[in-house]
Structure 1
Amino acid sequence: MPRVLVTRPEPGASRTAHRLEQMGFQPILLPLTETVALPAKASEAPKHAMAVAVTSANAVRYASRELIAALAALPCHAVGKRTAEAARKAGFTTVNEGPGDALALADAIVEGPPTGTVVYLCGRVRFPAFEQRLSAAGIPVRAVETYDTIGLDHSDADVAATLSGGPVDGVLLYSAKAAVAMQALIRRPALGGYFEKTGFFALSGRIAAALNGVAPERVRVAAKPQEDALIRLMLAGR
């Protein structure tokens, strides 16, 4: 049974592990990052805002009730299905489900009906292209950071105990920060043996690029920045 390392933080890690088990993989949970809430207040959102944009479900999951209440009546543009579900659950009444890609969502907003200032609920660590695309089109963007992603420092002993069943066949990478942390683990003398023949499956090209020093033939990139595409990629190489 192929052993697959899941590096994303909870609660997503357990959800991914369950999917992998159903497909005949042996998931190994080793989150390399942790998501924490930031004290974003309702006052950070401009009163003249006309819409909300969300490119990560965490942005609404970690937003305060006060902030959500101040924005819930505005149309919310969510990057994809899971983020749209999280937005509805948080309290947004009008949610537009996007195509699953941040830049494609930005294009949809730009090409849609005219709008004023867009409040972008987001993380402190993020790819700037979404905001840049809207700004370049003349749409004002106010970023409100509701969460942060911090790295976790695992000891050699803890990682070895987690991987005690033997070498790792595949690693799923969901963020550039996790990819950098993964690269550091591979370089540790006590741990390198677990990853000598490992395949690395990245959610995007930007994440794959963070794996400096890993042979290119061992790194594959999902066709879309979605977990479904990531898992299909791994299944194709099984």
Structure 2
Amino acid sequence: MTCEVTLRVMQVHQTPTLLLTRPRPASERFARGLTGVEIVIAPLMEIVGTGARVELNGVDGLILTSEAAVGFLPPSTLPAYCVGPRTATAARAAGLQAEVAGLTADELVENLTARPPHDRLLHVHGTQTRGDVAARLANAGLSVAEVAAYDQRRLPPSEVFSEALTRPHLIVPLFSPRSASIFAEAAPSLRADTRLVALSDAVADALPPEMRRQTRVASMPTGKDMRIALELLGVELVSP
């Protein structure tokens, strides 16, 4: 009598890992409401003040291209022209009359040039900037000064970061060209199943070609669209 034995191989589902490399407060905020992944926070930069004084005497309005600038402003109720809804939300919470003037620095420059406020503006930004916002607006005839109020200081890769790179089904969201270039230097090689998610084409373009091939770009450069892009990779979105 012959017994036929059928072996059935069960495929074990591997929980993805979401690696967040932004400064810790921003990473912790972004992680809220995400499930279906193991979240690892391993910052590759931190926000520190430069010591430069933000003087608002004689200023009629502010230009804010990052929410990081909000924490370095003195109390004010000035109008603020912001890049992105997250920056505008943070500015309103600080008491400013904030509006979204564009989703990117280029859009902000285009919109303020097309409808210039008759104000003396101050662009508060970090030491690492893109887009030459103040110079381009000044060339268009606007009255714009600028101050570098903070620095995005690099942090060395931690053991937590290095260990996360070895995990299968790793997902890494990248929010700025600077964070993308820092990540690429900190991660000389990636597993073939690692997936990067870039906030915009400019962020993706800061990656080397081999990493670019493993990258998905969010449909719009907003935190909401970044979360939607992550959903497509298996991250469950519980709250907006």
- TM-score band, normalised by shorter chain: 0.7 to 0.9
Shift of 1:77: 1.4
Structure 2 match to 1:108: 111
Name which of 27, 35, 41 aligns with 2:53. 41
Change (3 A) 1:75 1:85: same
Q: Which has the higher helix share?
A: 1
**Alignment match, 1:233:** 229
Alignment match, 1:8 = 22
1:18 aligns to 2:32 (yes or no) = yes
Q: Which runs of no fewer than 5 residues in structure 1 stay unpaired?
A: none
Tell me which residue corresponds to 2:6: none
Looking at structure 1, the residues matched to 193 and 176 of structure 2 have their Cα atoms a distance apart, in angstroms, of 21
**How far is 1:201 from its partner?**
0.8
Partner of 2:60: 50
Deviations 1:146-205 (A, max 9, x none): 2110111125x44344567x3242111112232222222332xxxx4x633211111122
Q: In structure 2, what is the equivalent of residue 144 of structure 1?
A: 147
1:194-213 aligned at under 5 Å gives the runs 195-213=191-209
The 1-side partners of 2:202 and 2:129 are apart by 11
- Identify unmatched segments of 5+ residues in structure 2: 1-14, 235-240
**C-alpha RMSD of the superposition:** 2.4
What TM-score comes out, normalization by structure 1 length? 0.80
After superposition, where does 1:158-237 map in structure 2 within 5 Å?
A: 158-162=160-164, 166-187=167-188, 192=189, 195-237=191-233
Partners of 2:139 and 2:54 in 1: how far apart? 26
Distance 1:214 1:138, change over 3 A: same
Alpha-carbon displacement from aligned partner over 1:197-236 (angstroms, at most 9, x marks no partner) = 2111111222212211425331222222212112212323
Structure 2 counterpart of 1:153: 156
The structure carrying a bigger strand percent of its residues is 2
State the shift of 1:75 in Å. 1.8
Alignment deviations for residues 5-46 of structure 1 (CA, whole Å, 9 cap, x no partner): 11111211012222322xx22222121111112212144x5x
Q: Matched residues in 1 for 2:206 and 2:84: separation?
A: 24
- Residue identity (%): 29
Q: 1:81 — aligned with what?
A: 85
8 Å CA contact 1:32–1:153 kept in 2: the answer is yes
Check 1:176–1:115 CA distance in 2 against 1; reply closer, same or farther (3 A cut).
same
Which has more radius of gyration?
2
- How far the C-alpha of 1:101 sits from its partner, in A, is 2.6
- Between the two proteins, the alignment pairs up a number of residues equal to 220
> Quick check: 1:30 aligned with 2:42?
yes
